[in-house]
């Protein structure tokens, strides 16, 4: 089926199947692999928004398809994909190589089509993109581009309007870079709420539902996501989604949210087709108690009884936690203290102490939640190798304060700050204030790191006053190994699985070879998300011959 628009998600390194790399644990605590095969939520939002306005939109998750089958011919798939507009996400900086290379291939095979890139990274580097990569025609700017894309599609597909009338657009004209600037920064996101049912039907109708897969492992371990708001009240040092970055780079001075009605409808549009865990992206406490109360009412009135993951950026007040308890369904909670050291945590941008954290942990475990996950990081301002190794000791102490029956409901993970300090973040713009030395600044610098680094250690775009890249890598493995031992000692994971992961990390620390991309180096199997098989989660409404064929093909792909 020919499309008006095809959205393509590239792997971080385009030719990763031909390169022998040690990617390490850079994606161990997220669903995707180290080539970052999960596309941004904006893809599904664009399918939903543009589709409702009459455009035929398809997704080609090139990264996921390349992982699913060694026989998948990426260039042939690009050549066969016929459209008038090709959109490629350059949302995360880690795609600096893959996005640009895939764009080059698309333009070679479809020279007359319009080629558009967008995303947070594309917005920050839009001038460099248009100056250095002549095969890219447009950059859509900002954190919300659905209407921008609709106006550009009117222009390119239907010949309506003028480029100068389209907000948030940059392009090349007569050797000059032109832009209409960041004029569209919507404060309400209801208009951009995703109809997952529509996207699901489009995936099946396309005849190639595998290419719509959010990430390669989705058919084995599916998880969905809904976005509650854009913007952030926090200023975490290395985060490209901080309050500082949103204001400075994306013109967003406060939060833009979905109403509880819109978010509830979005959740139900997933549950109508798939009974899978869903992650609510964003800390709902920042939207206020009344918003949370209304969400509870909306979900109850619709009969929601699924599984939710909710994240907190700081320990919520007791009344907020009581509200979250009332949200129907099973609930897994997450919080990222980043460090056990209160001074390091505050410097990084998490303004709370251990007393608040530990009180929150005990409240959660004594309530009716399924689990609480703690996320720690290596590579923070002020953090030494010794303080990084304090993470597992702190978690050990936490377990020691718990009733044995509660221990299995507390889990903890440690990961490196990798591969990059985000562009536009406070630490990227003012590295000396946070003790960082940046080893790459431009988009092309980062493309070179992704392309040439033989290991994840050499891919890091930073060092700190307290740790070299080698120190960050070594401290990550040592802290992760000790944390696995702690969890085994307290019965959170099985001894045999702990021994397997410790052996894997011992070999990984030598960084002398690659490993299957789907293997997590530092996280025991089944430890990250509750195991769910997609085939078992499908509702009768979702079943169709086309989808069943896709699931059989996915099940037959290499693991």
Give the start-to-end residue ranges of the domains of the chain: 5-189, 223-535
Q: Which three-class secondary structure state does DSSP give residue 274? A: strand
What letter does residue 466 receive in the DSSP assignment? S
Q: Determine the Cα–Cα distance for residues 445 and 23; give it in Å rounded to an integer.
A: 19
Q: Is 172 helix (H, G, I), strand (E, B) or coil?
A: strand
E-strand ranges in 370-483 read 371-378, 410-416, 436-438, 462-464
Tokens of 542: 């979702």
Kindly report the CATH number that applies to the domain delimited by 5-189. 3.40.50.2300
- Could you give the maximum distance between any two Cα atoms of the chain, in Å? 70
Q: Give the angle 428-91-98 at the CA atoms, nearest 5°.
A: 100
* pLDDT reported for residue 509: 86
DSSP-derived 3-state class of residue 337:
strand
Q: Which residues contact 549 (CB under 8 A, 6 or more apart)?
A: none
The C-alpha angle 512, 513, 514, rounded to 5 degrees, equals 150
Q: Are 92 and 32 in contact (CB under 8 A)?
A: no
CA atoms of 192 and 41, how far apart (whole Å): 11
Q: What pTM was computed for the model?
A: 0.95
Radius of gyration of the chain from its Cα atoms, rounded to whole angstroms: 23
Instruction: Give the mean pLDDT of the chain.
Output: 94
Q: What is the pLDDT of residue 119?
A: 98
pLDDT digits 0-9 by tens, 106-153: 999 999 999 999 999 999 999 999 999 999 999 999 999 999 999 999
Beta strands in 352-401 (DSSP E): 371-378
- What value, to the nearest 5°, has the Cα angle with vertex 156 and ends 201 and 43? 35
Comparing CA positions, the residue from 363, 450, 449 lying closest to residue 410 is 363
Q: What is the pLDDT of residue 520?
A: 92
| Calpha distance 281→228 (Å, rounded) | 6
- What does the pLDDT read at residue 529? 80
- In terms of phi and psi (left: phi > 0; alpha: psi -120 to 50; beta: otherwise), the region of 455 is beta
Cα separation, 147 vs 174, in Å, equals 26
Tell me what pLDDT residue 557 has.
56
pLDDT in tens, 181-215: 999 999 999 999 999 999 998 998 888 889 999 99
Measured N-to-C along each axis, helices 289-301 and 260-271 cross at an angle, to the nearest 10 degrees, of: 40
Coil, strand or helix: which one is 542?
coil
Residues in the chain: 559
Exposed, middle or buried by CB within 10 Å (0-12, 13-18, 19+), for 237? buried
Q: What is the pLDDT of residue 526?
A: 83
Angle, in degrees to the nearest 10, between helices 385-400 and 469-489: 10
Report the distance separating Cα 133 and Cα 533, nearest Å: 41
Q: Which residue has the tokens 């904006």?
A: 42
In this prediction, the residues of the chain whose per-residue pLDDT falls under 50 are 558-559
Please state which CATH number belongs to domain 223-535.
3.80.30.20
Which pLDDT does position 528 carry in this prediction? 85
Q: How many helices (H) and strands (E) does the chain have?
A: 24, 17
d(CA 456, CA 442): 19
Q: Are strands 169-173 and 224-227 parallel, antiparallel or unpaired?
A: unpaired
The residues, ordered by sequence, that sit 6+ positions from 295 with a Cβ below 8 Å of its Cβ are 260, 263, 264, 284, 327
DSSP structure string for 428-493: HHSHHHHTEEES--SHHHHHHHHHH-SBHHHH--EEESS--HHHHHHHHHHHHHHHHHHHHHTTSS
* pLDDT digit string, tens, across residues 254-286: 999 999 999 999 999 999 999 999 999 999 999
**Could you give the CA distance from residue 77 to residue 195 in angstroms, rounded to a whole number?**
27
């Amino acid at each position: 089926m020919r499309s008006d628009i095809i959205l393509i998600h590239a792997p971080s390194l385009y030719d990763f199947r031909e390169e022998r790399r040690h990617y390490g644990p850079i994606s161990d605590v997220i669903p995707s692999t180290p080539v970052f095969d999960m596309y941004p939520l904006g893809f599904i939002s664009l399918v939903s928004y543009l589709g409702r306005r009459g455009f035929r939109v398809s997704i080609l998750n090139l990264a996921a398809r390349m992982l699913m089958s060694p026989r998948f011919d990426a260039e042939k798939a690009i050549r066969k994909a016929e459209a008038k507009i090709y959109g490629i996400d350059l949302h995360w900086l880690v795609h600096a190589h893959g996005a640009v290379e895939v764009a080059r291939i698309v333009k070679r095979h479809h020279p007359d089509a319009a080629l558009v890139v967008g995303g947070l990274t594309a917005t920050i580097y839009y001038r460099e993109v248009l100056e250095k990569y002549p095969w890219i025609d447009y950059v859509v700017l900002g954190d919300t581009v659905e209407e921008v894309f609709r106006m550009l599609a009117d222009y390119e597909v239907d010949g309506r309007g003028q480029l100068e009338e389209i907000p948030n657009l940059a392009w090349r004209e007569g050797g000059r870079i032109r832009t209409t600037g960041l004029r569209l920064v919507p404060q309400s996101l209801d208009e951009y709420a995703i109809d997952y049912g529509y996207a699901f039907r489009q995936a099946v109708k396309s005849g190639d539902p595998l290419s719509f897969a959010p990430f390669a492992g989705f058919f084995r371990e599916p998880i969905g996501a809904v976005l509650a708001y854009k913007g952030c009240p926090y200023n975490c040092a290395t985060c490209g989604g901080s309050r500082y970055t949103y204001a400075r780079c994306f013109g967003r001075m406060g939060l833009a949210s979905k109403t509880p009605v819109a978010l509830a409808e979005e959740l139900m549009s997933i549950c109508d087709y798939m009974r899978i865990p869903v992650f609510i992206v964003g800390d709902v406490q920042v939207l206020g108690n009344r918003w949370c109360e209304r969400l509870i009412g909306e979900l109850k009135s619709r009969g929601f009884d699924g599984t939710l993951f909710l994240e907190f950026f700081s320990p919520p007040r007791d009344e907020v936690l009581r509200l979250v308890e009332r949200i129907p369904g099973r609930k897994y909670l997450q919080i990222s203290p980043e460090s056990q050291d209160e001074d390091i945590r505050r410097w990084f941008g998490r303004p709370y102490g251990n007393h608040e954290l530990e009180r929150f942990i005990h409240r959660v475990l004594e309530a009716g939640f399924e689990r609480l996950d703690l996320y720690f990081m290596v590579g923070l301002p002020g953090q030494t190798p010794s303080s990084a190794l304090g993470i597992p000791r702190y978690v050990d102490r936490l377990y020691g304060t718990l009733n044995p029956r509660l221990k299995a409901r507390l889990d903890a993970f440690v990961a490196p700050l990798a591969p990059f300090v985000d562009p536009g973040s406070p630490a990227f713009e003012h590295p000396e204030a946070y003790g960082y030395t940046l080893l790459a600044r431009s988009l092309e610098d980062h493309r070179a790191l992704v392309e040439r680094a033989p290991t994840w250690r050499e891919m890091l775009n930073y060092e700190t006053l307290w740790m070299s890249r080698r120190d960050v890598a070594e401290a990550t493995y040592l802290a992760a190994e000790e944390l696995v031992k702690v969890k085994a000692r307290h019965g959170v994971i099985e001894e045999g699985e702990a021994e397997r992961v410790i052996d894997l990390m011992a070999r990984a620390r030598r960084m002398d070879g690659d490993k299957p991309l789907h293997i997590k180096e530092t996280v025991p199997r089944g430890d990250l998300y509750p195991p769910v098989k997609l085939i078992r989660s499908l509702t009768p409404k979702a079943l169709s011959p086309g989808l069943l064929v896709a699931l059989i093909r996915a099940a037959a792909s290499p693991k």
